[in-house]
A and B are shown apart, each in its own frame.
Chain A
């Protein structure tokens, strides 16, 4: 789960985040050191109370923003008693913030509900990526990993979601082999949808693709 919180932290203005359980306290955190665990746990009770009060009054709460002069706090339920809490310097870049948090909550939910499945999936992902090893004697895993990390450089924290969707589309439309990797690049370029960023992305991945 650490990587999910570190992705949230990469959003401009975000100071850090943590997963809080209303019974057992902080499950995992990626916060600056000056926010001590004890203090966070004590304080979190208040915002969880606010969240729960809101849920009792409105049946469609998706999150709560608390705005102070020097900080914005966002709390969102992941599942029963589990909350994601994000500390930010400002809430101006709201769109990016919202996208990153929603994506993180999905990942956290998955990680909390099915830790075993996450492990299994990561194994099967490796297997899919290297499925053509026998056919072409080339393992696609390092290439795809590089393509994903390069995408993060041009798209930021939403890159992970975009990349997974793109790979799914690629697998649906063609065999996931190195011979068809251009199709994946096309799909990703259409997702980036910005000429300058597409060029930057192509420059970064081309040394890997040239292995063909």
Chain B
């Protein structure tokens, strides 16, 4: 897997924080290694493990049920700061939503953002 340089990380961070309703994010490799994040250091270790493990398990679940194309999962929370996990090629993106944000909108906007990045990447290749 090619390393993502600092400039790309900063750009990614900037774009993610422009998405309505995004409070925090953590972007990791499939193996759980953190690429970039804006959560506190203490939470980042735990969130990266949760994101990688749950992303993988959701893929396995989908495959075993013949469901195509895992798009995202989210943990619904009482404090409304729902936690999303999106697959993005060989990475996973974890998102904590603002408590007053609409989960459906977050899912739509972040999925759109990931598709846009994937299109750009394949066009560049």
A residues bordering B, Cβ < 8 Å?
Answer: 35, 39, 42-43, 46-47, 49-50, 53-54, 57-58, 60-71, 73, 91-92, 94
Task: Count A-B pairs with CB separation below 8 Å.
Answer: 85
**Contact of A61 with B58 in the complex, beta carbons under 8 Å:** no
- A69-B67 CB under 8 A given contacts A50-B73, A60-B77: yes
The prevalent SS among residues of A at the interface is: mixed
* Residues from chain A with Cβ under 8 Å of B53 in the complex: 49-50, 53
* Residues from chain A with Cβ under 8 Å of B104 in the complex: 91-92, 94
**Contact of B65 with A57 in the complex, beta carbons under 8 Å:** no
CB distance from B121 to the nearest CB of A (A): 20
Question: When chains A and B are docked, how far (Å) is the Cα of A57 from the Cα of B83?
Answer: 11
Interface residues of B in 54-111 (CB under 8 A from A): 54, 57-58, 60-62, 64-65, 67-79, 83, 103-104, 107
- A53-B76 CB under 8 A given contacts A68-B68, A69-B67, A69-B71: no
* Residues from chain A with Cβ under 8 Å of B78 in the complex: 60, 62
**Contact of B65 with A39 in the complex, beta carbons under 8 Å:** yes
**Contact of A62 with B61 in the complex, beta carbons under 8 Å:** no
CB distance from B34 to the nearest CB of A (A): 15
* Residues from chain B with Cβ under 8 Å of A47 in the complex: 57-58, 61
**Contact of B61 with A65 in the complex, beta carbons under 8 Å:** no
**Contact of A66 with B75 in the complex, beta carbons under 8 Å:** no
**Contact of B73 with A67 in the complex, beta carbons under 8 Å:** yes
Report if B117 contacts A (CB, 8 A): no
* Residues from chain B with Cβ under 8 Å of A62 in the complex: 76-78
Report if B50 contacts A (CB, 8 A): yes
